[in-house]
Amino acid sequence: MNSLAELLSLAGLEPVPTEIQGSDPVFPTPYRVGEAGAAALAAVGTAVARLWALKSNRIQRVSVGVRAAAAALRSARYLRVDGQIPKDPWDPFSGYYPAKDGRWISIHCNFPNHRNAAIGVLGNPADRAAAEAASAKWDGLALEDAIHAAGGCAGLARTAAEWARHPHAAAVAGQPLLEIRKLAESRPEPLPAGARPLSGVRALDLTRVLAGPTCARTLAEHGADVLKISGPHLPDSGAVEFDTGIGKLQAFVDLREPSGVETLRNLLAQADVFSQSYRPGTLAARGFSPEEAAKLRPGIVYVTLSAWGTTGPWKDRRGFDSIVQTVSGQAYRQAGGGAEPSKPRLMPVSANDYVGGYLMAFGALAALYRRATEGGSWLVRVSLARTGKWIVDRGIIDGFASVPPELPDRELGNLLGEVQSPAGRIRHLQPALGLAETPPRWERPPAPLGSHPAVWPDR
């Protein structure tokens, strides 16, 4: 079974005429990231085509290029604001640190609370050099556990063979790549009227960083009204928010306050999709578990992302794409092979994040199709770790080091677009997916977080 057929089988969707052009390698990585991304996007396109057929009684053709799909797995790299490269959200304290016995550990410091936790474990060093000197005195496993216990996020670099022996690797292998499960019964709901597949569909986006925001951005590509909810006190990803925020409305809601909780409840009661990527249990503690959401809004499609899935010893741990790459052997393979090299290296694309985001969107679309045809509230679950395993399972490419690090200027130029926004002139990647009748596009320019009121636009 090919990758697209596998995804459609998981969602119970029949295929439509589809063309996937090209093959890996596109960038210097041993993983078939372009093909994985193209398959996930083609699955999104199939679900959109099926939804459109419910409205129009017409099936449209889907197309996606592997090279464009690969570029989309690092779309933030191509973002420009008034012609300028935005500030890198990667914190100076983030990255690989030495540990005892020649081991390496990745420490995530892009959010201030995670940085403070990790640096506190290391004795509050004044700079990166002092932090590395401190980490070199630690046993890697002990440091990994200590940082998580302090509320931070880190991952000891492991080879693929070492990861395969880890208890959580076994848990990940037993998890579904994409879970689509009925939460409760409710009446079938036809799609709202409109000229686009998702016209009138309302999606609440309570996600951060890349994978979750990519899910909601993908829904916006097909006409959904996406309302991104953040908090004025929460750390963010800087200008990268303009890349993942294109097509969305942006509102602040403070869930520390009863009034904020009530505002979110009112928004949820009128929503069709609720997507979230906070650490497991965070929103449930405020009354926004999948089950509570289904009671508040029968027919809701509740989409959730975690780093490590719902089973295993790490199911409640924090995690990011870079940490998943590090612990699972992806980073050591990227650095030069299956044997442990001198230092791990991240892939040139954030494949676990973006492919995970596309899988979330695909699950949401498949659930909307089921809601329209049979009714029900639906739960969609995706994890970065299981997504990473799926990417690895596509197969390994040898000799990847000689592949050029970037697409040719003319090819890349054909993939780019520009839009005037409240933040300035934004250059961005255009949608990589092709649909013959309803080509994807964004109707709203990106805007700073909190730019809009926390209300739904009229349908």
Q: Dihedral (C-alpha) 346, 331, 358, 254: value to the nearest 10 degrees? A: -70
Protein fold of 3-87+175-309+349-435: Rossmann fold (3.40.50)
pLDDT at position 152 is 97
Per-residue pLDDT tens for 136-152?
999 999 999 999 999 99
pLDDT at position 342 is 75
229 vs 250: CA distance, rounded Å:
6
pLDDT at position 340 is 53
pLDDT for 304 beyond 70 = yes
pLDDT for 261 beyond 60 = yes
Scanning 229-350, the segments in alpha helix (DSSP H) are: 240-244, 258-269, 290-296, 321-327, 330-335
Confidence of residue 398 (pLDDT cuts 50, 70, 90): confident
What's the chain's average pLDDT?
A: 96
N- to C-terminal Cα distance for the chain? 41
pLDDT for 338 beyond 60 = no
- Residues 457 and 225 sit within 8 Å (Cβ to Cβ): yes
154 vs 114: CA distance, rounded Å:
9
pLDDT at position 237 is 86
Q: Please state whether 386 falls in left (phi above 0), alpha (psi between -120 and 50) or beta.
A: alpha
Arithmetic mean of pLDDT, 249-273: 97
pLDDT at position 235 is 86
Per-residue pLDDT tens for 203-253?
999 999 999 999 999 999 999 999 999 999 988 888 889 999 999 999 999
Residue 278: other Cβ atoms inside 10 A: 20
pLDDT for 454 beyond 70 = yes
Q: 275: closest CA among 189, 203, 365, 182?
A: 203
Confidence of residue 280 (pLDDT cuts 50, 70, 90): confident
pLDDT at position 337 is 61
Q: Which two tokens stand for residue 24?
A: 């890996």
pLDDT at position 238 is 87
- In sequence order, the β-bridge partners of residue 184 are 377
Q: 359: closest CA among 347, 370, 367?
A: 367
- Residues 94 and 108 sit within 8 Å (Cβ to Cβ): yes
Q: 314: closest CA among 155, 130, 447?
A: 155
Q: What is the pTM of this model?
A: 0.97
Q: Which helix (H) or strand (E) holds 37?
A: helix 33-56
Q: 348: closest CA among 360, 331, 326?
A: 331
Per-residue pLDDT tens for 158-174?
999 999 999 999 999 99
Percent of the chain beyond pLDDT 70?
99
153 vs 155: CA distance, rounded Å:
7
115 vs 126: CA distance, rounded Å:
13
Arithmetic mean of pLDDT, 240-268: 96
190 vs 11: CA distance, rounded Å:
19
Angle subtended at Cα 454 by Cα 448 and Cα 455, rounded to the nearest 5 degrees = 125
pLDDT at position 311 is 97
pLDDT at position 336 is 84
Per-residue pLDDT tens for 305-327?
999 999 999 999 999 999 999 99
pLDDT for 12 beyond 70 = yes
SS3 category, 350: coil
pLDDT for 110 beyond 90 = yes
Percent of the chain beyond pLDDT 90?
92
Q: Where are the domains of the chain?
A: 3-87+175-309+349-435
